[in-house]
Amino acid sequence: MPRGLIVLLAAASAVVAIGGTKIFAGVLGPVFLALMLAVAAQPIQTRMQRRGLPPWLGMIVALVVVYLLLLGLVAALAVSVAQLATALPGYSDQFGDLLDQVRALLADFDIDKERIEHALSGFDLGNAVGVLESLLRGLTGIFSDLVFILALLLFMAFDGMTIGRRTGALATMRPDIARALNAFAAGTRKYLIVSTVFGLIVAVLDGVALWLLAVPFPLLWALLSFITNYIPNIGFVVGLVPPALLALLDGGFTKMIWVIVLYCVFNVVVQSVIQPKFVGDAVGLSVTVTFLSLVFWAWVLGALGALLAIPLTLLAKALLIDIDPSTRWLTLLISDRAPDRPDPEDPGRPDAVDPGPGSGGADPVAKPDG
């Protein structure tokens, strides 16, 4: 089959697969999240089994750890957002004064009054309260997804009791597939560990800074910083905008500038200088691929896709590239690591050729002497 036709068929199949994933995003998103959490918790079960403990005990301990972390995070977010929705209407006077200052500033530039009012007509504190109320109503949907996720985690943890034997058998039958899946699981765990550690560091620094500046709800913004740390490239901006705007309403431009400055100092140093080195060592993806994966998965799965962009890219890489020795050379194009010395025994290396008779390799059809 001509190579161009193969490329066209592959592109058409990719469009169909992506369209189907986008349609079923409401189901596939929670499934992917449960899969990532199960992969992250699997070492707990494995280590307990290696110590001679019953497999069911490792399953229970892993489930308890994941359940407590997930439920605690969701509960803290729900309470904090509810408190914010209750307190935000009290800033109506400050919001009106801020709009008056903006009107006066625009009038100094000789902008027509009707244009000013038309431009500022969409800025209303009531709209922000409405957004928060819709977010609170959406939390009921999150809790329904949470029940689905918790049930999936239970089934995956149950299957995890025998995953060691099954992967061992898979390594014997199909070593390439086993190696690709093991690389995905190891890369996902490393990424989650690195992002969690640096997310906690950033959350503590941001929360303390906001508390010292007397910005309302520092715990909520610290939690937001922790969650957005899993969003590559733009997570820092997403976590900065809400506390900066609230600081503007609470204390004016001076407090907002202090929030922006401190966030930039903490987050740029940690997330843009230190963390990328550890993330790159953990997942082996270039900066360009990381950003494109964020855009792609956020478009396909929404906010959950943005949070899981890196693990989902690692899963796609394992299933589409690493699983086949003939396509493994694509790793060189999407990785930020220098290529290792090629293995002459690896048929997936770029310069691998089929040695024929007379090329120095053994002739597979040659008859033995005598």
Segment 53-86, tens digit of pLDDT: 888 888 888 888 888 888 888 877 777 777 777 7
* pLDDT of amino acid 178: 85
Which tokens sit at 267?
């987050």
Which residue reads 């600081």 in tokens? 247
* pLDDT of amino acid 360: 43
The percentage of residues in the chain with a pLDDT greater than 70, rounded to a whole number, is: 76
Confidence tier at 136 by pLDDT (50, 70, 90): low
Confidence tier at 120 by pLDDT (50, 70, 90): low
**Residue 249 phi, psi (nearest 5):** -70, -35
Alpha-carbon distance of 172 to 291, in angstroms, equals 36
* pLDDT of amino acid 350: 44
HEC states along 81-140? HHHHHHHHHHHHHHHHHHHHHHHHHHHHCCCCHHHHHHHHCCCCHHHHHHHHHHHHHHHH
Nearest Cα residue to 263 out of 230, 236, 238, 226 = 236
Q: What is the mean pLDDT of residues 179-204?
A: 87
Q: What is the mean pLDDT of the chain?
A: 77
Residue 135 has pLDDT above 70, yes or no: no
* pLDDT of amino acid 123: 61
Q: What is the C-alpha radius of gyration for the chain, rounded to an integer number of angstroms?
A: 26
Q: What is the mean pLDDT of residues 194-219?
A: 88
Q: What is the mean pLDDT of residues 21-31?
A: 86
Per-residue pLDDT tens digits for 235-292? 777 788 888 888 887 877 888 899 889 888 887 777 767 776 676 666 777 778 888 8
Per-residue pLDDT tens digits for 79-106? 777 777 777 777 777 777 777 777 777 6
Per-residue pLDDT tens digits for 322-368? 887 777 777 777 776 655 555 544 444 444 444 444 444 444 444 44
* pLDDT of amino acid 281: 63
